[in-house]
Amino acid sequence: SSYPLRGSKLGPYEGGHRVCFVARGPGIIPPGTVNHEIATSMDLMPTFAKLAGATMPADRIIDGKDIEPLLRMEEGAVSPHEAYFLYKTTTLKSVRQGKWKLHIRYEDRNLVEGELYDLDADIGETNDVSGSNPAVVSRLMALAKAARADIGDFYVDGTGHRMAK
Q: What's the angle, vertex CA 93, arms to CA 91 and CA 105, rounded to 5? A: 100
The answer to whether the beta carbons of residues 79 and 38 sit under 8 Å apart is: yes
Query: pLDDT, tens digit, for every residue of 10-21?
Result: 788 888 888 888
Query: pLDDT, tens digit, for every residue of 126-148?
Result: 999 999 999 999 999 999 989 88
Q: Report the 10 Å Cβ neighbour count for 107.
A: 7
Per-residue model confidence (pLDDT) at position 61: 87
- Percent of the chain having pLDDT more than 90? 56
Residues 32, 14: Cα–Cα separation, whole Å = 25
Q: Residues with Cβ < 8 Å from 84, sequence gap 6 or more?
A: 38, 40, 95, 96, 97
DSSP per residue over 33-54, as a string? Answer: --------GGGHHHHHHHHTT-
pTM of the model: 0.86
Residues 115, 54: Cα–Cα separation, whole Å = 42
